[in-house]
Chain A
């Protein structure tokens, strides 16, 4: 728990909490929507970083947990009138449970095989949900608009969703820090560098990897639940959108692979860049090209990402920038 006494921890709280409070303080709906998206992407990117950045396992299909959490929570809210907060928690737990069960066989794979397996899992789950009638099949599920009356009207419901995503983003970032600074986290980093050597040192790679995969699935599950509650609709396509997963990987690479701040910075920069490009009359048709080109530049020249680059260039910053 020494991580909670570091300057970085307080800096993280001030930064993320401060930005998160901005729409609440000025009451701007538009800013709330923008920052909601950023926070949601922070959660997705940080979760992927927990498995990818710390253990070196690239989870291409991590979005599956976002969709699963969303579906489970939506089903509970729609069919059993469960309040969205407990429904979201159940969504997160179910995502974790499924990650645990899947992780046992899948995490035996290494490198590209694991990455491909995660894509396969996402596609299998998407196909299953598309044909699963209790989840609405291909047409998905949607709320009657009056559902929001239980939350003081739809406008209030949007704010509740925002508070929830802010809390989850903070929890996710703090968990990422705690994992990284813990003995367990050091074990993961050892696995990332050389799994066989880590095993010789007494680390149980299978157990550690399954545990971290389980943790990394919890937060996207919560985010999915909150996002689809706010949306009022859930459909297989947007719930298991592989492109969103790949974008989250880009955010991790952009911000800094294996750092706590990297995915946060990466998500904020990527989303703002995207928002700028798609609303700019000159670049609106090229935004995917620009995003792809940016990724290429990072992979070629700034492999450590923005935060990693800063840490390399200014060693004094390492204490403040995890």
Chain B
């Protein structure tokens, strides 16, 4: 008699736990998405297949969903926020203009779905799978940073979804044989090349360069490309030293730098370490003629370190002072598309009450390129949009955009040029950024540290 209740109890517990576990699985299977904007255009009628056919007599509105994850928490929080803001501004602009128009009169109203990836690759993969399979997004934008974008690219490719990567410059990501991933940023291997050219132009007597970098994929790949380039230009790379992510005390590295007495310091990694390194170089009065750091200097908040920011050079994918315009496009024999630089900057300032950085521009441009590809394809069918992206070659407020169609590097950015900014003081002793390289784009001459 005792056996039966025991077995029933066991069965009951097993079932209860099983159901509990399934129920527990539900919240993550159907979380509250965080649509950043909810345009009131998508109707159930408009979503029906009939409404999507060109035969539909009256112009209709249909929603398209663009999914991505953002690093609302974790190490990549700041640039990721800027990137999302840029994308948000694009969405606002398109919504205000009545959507993306197809030739049959259909207006595609974009909607965004995003989640916090905590700056973690395992979260990125789970969330991109969810965006594709549960949220049924039509297109994907990458998260910020090369590592996270690479994790997302694997999932996107596995599901045959088109993804525009922005905030991800790592070369190797685009050398994995992906067919549906398109890179908007100029690859990392080009990040410090211009800084070396600038040094050559500015101070022909300079001979020694110290490369100090954050030991993570993006910055390592940048300096690995910069080192041979510097040598090819006749420089002696006197220091090639990595520091761990999260480093806050650069004193041992600065001592090494001082010991090698370089003419220029180049490298860094991301925003927090780059800012700290610049500050400590200033505090320790390191005597070099040029300092070029990755990622941090183009961010407007870099000025918060005060005088330490002066003379610091940074490679940037885009700056508010760039001169891309319909005329420039015409001169380059390229088609022009989209918003002007001036309208983007003023629109961004009005919407977010801050100056856009290149991460913001990258976010906007990701949406814009997708919009152009959809318009030219006259469809949201992935195969057609992909074919259009493959042959895209144009200029926008963000600059030139063209993707590689080589099998080995398919989707890699081949046309976008970087600019280099330097923090300089104006006549009122106020810090601001100037574009100092390349010569064709510069708004001021570069200055050597005194």
Q: Which of A's residues lie within 8 Å of B, judged by CB?
A: 7, 10-11, 14-15, 18-19, 22, 28-38, 40, 127, 130-131, 137-140, 142-146, 148, 154-155, 158, 227, 230-233, 235-238, 241, 268-269, 271-272, 275-276, 278-281, 284-285, 287-288, 316-317, 319-321
Contacts and interface: CB of A to CB of B under 8 A. Distances in A.
Given A18-B18, A34-B130, 5 more contacts: A11-B17, A30-B130, A30-B134, A142-B173, A271-B28
A31 to B, nearest CB: 6
Nearest to A34: B28
A272 B176 CA distance: 33
Given A138-B216, A142-B150, A269-B24, A278 B13 contact: no
A280 B129 CA distance: 18
Interface residues of B, number: 56
Contacts of B221: 139
A271 B150 CA distance: 23
A146 B130 CA distance: 24
A279 B115 contact: yes
A280 B7 CA distance: 40
B22 A22 contact: yes
A29 B18 contact: no
Contact of A279 (B13, B25, B28, B154): B28
B118 interface: yes
B446 to A, nearest CB: 30
Contacts of B242: 130-131, 138
Interface in B222-265: 224, 242, 244-245
Interface string B1-38: 00000110110011001100110110111011110000
Contacts of A272: 24-25, 27-28
Contacts of A19: 18, 21-22, 25
A144 B29 CA distance: 30
B18 A15 contact: yes
Contact of A31 (B25, B31, B159): B25
Given A154-B154, A237-B245, A30 B29 contact: yes
A221 B215 CA distance: 24
Contacts of A15: 14, 17-18, 21
Given A144-B176, A154-B154, A288 B73 contact: yes
Contacts of B72: 284-285
Interface in B70-106: 72-73
Contacts of B150: 142, 232-233
By secondary structure, the A interface counts as: helix
B121 interface: yes
Contacts of B438: none
A268 B158 contact: no
A45 to B, nearest CB: 15
Contacts of A36: 126
B191 interface: no
Q: Give 7 nearest A-B pairs by CB, closest first.
A: A279-B31, A275-B28, A138-B215, A276-B27, A272-B24, A154-B158, A145-B177
A14 B14 contact: yes
Nearest to B130: A30
Contacts of B22: 19, 22
Interface string B391-435: 000000000000000000000000000000000000000000000
B25 A33 contact: no
Nearest to A41: B122
Nearest to B218: A139
Nearest to B221: A139
B154 A237 contact: no
B125 A33 contact: yes
